[in-house]
Structure 1
């Protein structure tokens, strides 16, 4: 299955960023050329574009579906009200609606549970979470940065909002205890917790080593009893969503 995104700047021209009709039309062709294919299975709006009318974006996405260049469309990190408005604009005009939401979701970033996940459940839309291991933070004991990703990852998003807060340590410590009880890796426990949410279809695993894929597959077989789920969730506190406005 092939998936790609639209929004971030790819060049200097007027159609090189955002979700205007020009951007949608030009960037899907550019993506198909780079991928060496005639279509993609999933074309995603990487972020909400406040500078383009919603109807313009949704009609253009519908047109690339009808042209056979895209099979399904999805969205990524945005506020629930923005996603709802885009869906309603498509429905009202008989255009293609989103089938997926790629949002940030992990044991230490659960803000999507407040509004987005209930909306997705009501709409019949699946979540394909990004950073389900919180950049590896929930995959190893607290403070351990033994990987290149862990060492290079910033402490804040581009707007200065913290990615990690002191309460995260208690969450990670709980993951470590549950993993030891099951005699499996922390990554398997953290992924198993993400997978148990009924709106989650498949977390996006940023695998850089073969064992990362093995852990992801093995997480499908991990069964977390309610007592362990409660222990994993107990220390979570409300926080600011990151990486979108």
Structure 2
């Protein structure tokens, strides 16, 4: 495994990050399809044996159970100094006041709770899951700086915001002498390339790299068009691609064609395409099976030609949504117009929730 520095930091990370949303006790909360601890431990160990040292979780996942399982597994299977633990904050964790968001009180409370669940005395990369628009941004940024200065966090990362917001954020951090964000966790894949418009150029200029979630567009790029998984049947967000279905099908078909020509899996082609973009530090692979990890590692040996990349990119159509920050009601109306069906059954929070 070849490791690389994350952005302008000295932090060594593997070019594959294991997403831990699928590790946890489903009885404790979202998601309903997560693996139990025994199955999760096997996958974490398999990833470590493959040379992967980068793991991403969040306090939200299975209401803290994901952090607990990851922490116990890494304690048993790895040396703490060799692994990079990334977790996230902002989602509601309990009933009552101060249980959600990025206020100073919430950050100081939740960082300690994450440390306790992970069984470690520091977090390598502490990321804001979504921006808290009810708290002054300066309050959030200063509190994040303070948890770094307290030794509880090594680096800070952002996620899912507009490029102008991220640019303003980096300016505020620099002008106040606060610890800056070193990474941006965002959606980016062959079916959703909106970050190429502004965010990627900003990140390159600022020396920030992206950590990509949903690199396979929730599995769409890993299977033939129209194939449905158990997860797809249970999550409302899968219905939001209807407006671009025609062009999406052409892209998925192109992935399949190139995979067949090369004799490799579809996911390997989609992940190899991501690596052509230097702003991408690592895709977050949500592994639920050992072969998901194996395919991700195997993708590192694939270099697409310019012609293959052009075939994959030719049919792209811009998205309506952008990083989960578009207006949910507008998204609902657009999806209804595209499908001709009412989707009023979708909870509003499903359309823009943290993933």
TM-score (structure 2 length as normaliser): 0.66
State yes or no: 1:227 paired with 2:307.
yes
- Give yes or no for contact 1:128–1:204 (8 Å, CA) kept in 2: yes
Counterpart CA distance in 2 for 1:153 and 1:202 is 25
- Out of 101, 105, 109, the position equivalent to 1:26 is 109
Instruction: Give 1:201's aligned residue.
Output: 281
Shift of 1:37: 1.2
CA contact (8 A) 2:255 2:269 kept: yes
Moved over 4 A (4+): none
Report what 2:223 is aligned to: 140
Count of residue pairs the alignment pairs up: 240
Secondary structure at 2:280 match in 1: coil
Q: Provide, for residues 137-167 of structure 1, a one-character-per-residue CA deviation record: whole Å limited to 9, x for no partner.
A: 000110112x32233333458xxxx234212
Query: How far is the alpha carbon of 1:12 from its aligned partner?
Result: 2.1
Cα shift at 1:84:
1.2
Find the counterpart in structure 2 of residue 244 from structure 1.
325
CA distance in 1, matches of 2:94, 2:282: 31
Provide the alpha-carbon RMSD of the alignment: 1.3
- What is the aligned counterpart of 1:214 among 294, 303, 323? 294
Q: Check whether the contact 2:161–2:323 (CA below 8 A) recurs between aligned residues.
A: no
> What runs of 5+ residues in structure 1 fail to find an aligned partner?
none
**Structure 1 residue 242 displacement after superposition:** 4.6
State the match for 1:183 in structure 2: 263
2:71 corresponding residue in structure 1: none
1:122 to 205, 223, 243: 205
* Cα deviation code 1:20-77 (max 9, x no counterpart): 1111111101111111111110000111111111111111000000101000000111
- Per the TM alignment, residue 117 of structure 1 is displaced from its structure 2 partner at its CA by 0.6
Q: Structure 1 length as normaliser, TM-score? A: 0.94
Rounded Cα–Cα distance in structure 2 between residues aligned with 1:234 and 1:186: 17
* 1:103 counterpart SS class: strand
Contact 1:8 1:17 in 2 (8 A): yes
Q: Please say if 1:53 is aligned against 2:53.
A: no
8 Å contact from structure 1 (residues 15, 26) kept in 2: no
Give 1:75's aligned residue: 158
Cα distance in 1 for partners of 2:93, 2:172 equals 27
The question of 1:16 aligning with 2:95 is answered no
Q: Is the 8 A contact 1:135 1:153 kept in 2?
A: no
| Among 147, 168, 189, the residue aligned to 1:64 | 147
Q: Which consecutive residues of structure 2, in runs of 5 or more, have no partner in the other structure?
A: 1-83, 327-355
Which structure shows the bigger proportion of residues in helix conformation?
A: 2
Q: Which residue of 1 aligns with 2:232?
A: 150
Q: Deviations over 1:109-128 (max 9, x none)?
A: 00000011111001100100
1:163 equivalent in alignment to 2:163: no
